[in-house]
Chain A
Amino acid sequence: MAEIIVVTSGKGGVGKTTTSAAIGTGLALKGHKTVIIDFDVGLRNLDLIMGCERRVVYDFVNVINGEANLNQALIKDKRVDKLNILPASQTRDKDALTLEGVQKVLDELKKTHDFIVCDSPAGIEKGAHMAMYFADRALVVTNPEVSSVRDSDRILGILQSKTLRAEKGEEPVTEHLLLTRYSPDRVERGEMLGVKDVEEILSIPLLGVIPESKAVLSASNQGQPVILDTETDAGQAYDDAVRRLLGEDVEHRFLNSAKKGLFSRMFGGR
């Protein structure tokens, strides 16, 4: 049975699309047939981050409206076997999405995929609602600053009440916290919230901490999911997160300042 994972945050610019691309690619790299869907209709970005913008013919809204079938709209990733991308429409807005339409597409994708990663738009309006409604798991992307944490908290409240699972009274959506743009130096200087602070406020399990990294920007400019840069800290951190998502027990890294030297990093204490 396919699992639907929504990548959401409430706040914009925290790294939802970067995370969707990285996690989706990571799951496919581990051998799971995966599709990443861009729900940000009108502000299409996922195709750029994935480097497939030149191959977009049909999109998510076309499929919902029956103007194209799924196979025509799905873009097969050239680097990773088992990875598909379903781009958003740039010329439409969020009203083009309907729950029935989204459900139809998700049901179809479920037949052929193990994981469906839904890249949510920012905000708490229709687009975000559509992206989270059918989710089994939610990856809440948060930056270590108060406004982002507050918005994530709001999204967690909505996940508990406005999803199919909540409405049917089923097992609630499984929540994971992914802390991105984390800078241990700035935490030590007291300029940024620490992992512990964010965990305490949101009280959901931590899936991973992605360090602030130049690699993320250069990867997205090249249209390459950062998880493919296996030499970089951000790439490795996303790989850890994917392994944890799949149930592996992986110790958290990149929580302390790198200046502490090789010795303390090898022993990886918090």
Chain B
Amino acid sequence: MLKIEDLTVEVNGKNLLHDVNLEVKKGYTNVLFGPNGAGKSALMRTIMGFSEYRVVKGRILFNGEDITGLSVDERARLGLGIMMQRPPDMSGIKLRDLVKVLSKGQRDPEALAENLDMKRFLDRDVNVGFSGGEIKRSELLQLAVQSPSLYLLDEPESGVDLVSIEQVGMTIKGLLEEGLDCPGESCKKGKSALIITHTGQILDYVKADRGFILCNGTIMCSGNPLKMLEEIKSRGYEECIKCRLIK
């Protein structure tokens, strides 16, 4: 579904990512680990196509098509969807109106918001004065309408209180399993995802298939996400380099 080949990326002339290789197969949920500043968000935003991220080498393939040169909206229409960690304040744009526009009037904002306990936010300006948890729920509400085939989730649990985490986790699980009749079908029909997580809390709700560790702007290793998480929890990212050697 998503294939990244030898990707090198600059922002304002500064190299942020180099020689990144990564794949998310159809129906898979892959996890991206890495210390602060490793370039995880930059990679996700590059995949989405935000213009400040300049690809200087390599390419991004989506369903076999080279999307490296496509604009953000073209990628969105192909089926990529992002949950941003720090989305901009959209002063003057009510969440209700955004949901209406995104669903082209096809879906009822009230009903969608009900599920996410966001009804009282429908008449608020998107992201303006939202708490961490409210931002996540607003992002998920928008994604639920957008219904992408590949979800790019940038730290879905950051800034969310313990009570809301379950709600966020279950919502993501629901979105990824949308249209599935039984778990075994996930590879054929399910949605795909790439999730950035620090704490791994999201993995209590979402079954992850493969993990990657990004260090110093490149992928150091990949493997079983739960085992990786255990390693990181006990030994930190110092093991990054070694991990690459034992791969």
Bind each other: no
Interface of B toward A, CB cutoff 8 Å: none
Interface of A toward B, CB cutoff 8 Å: none
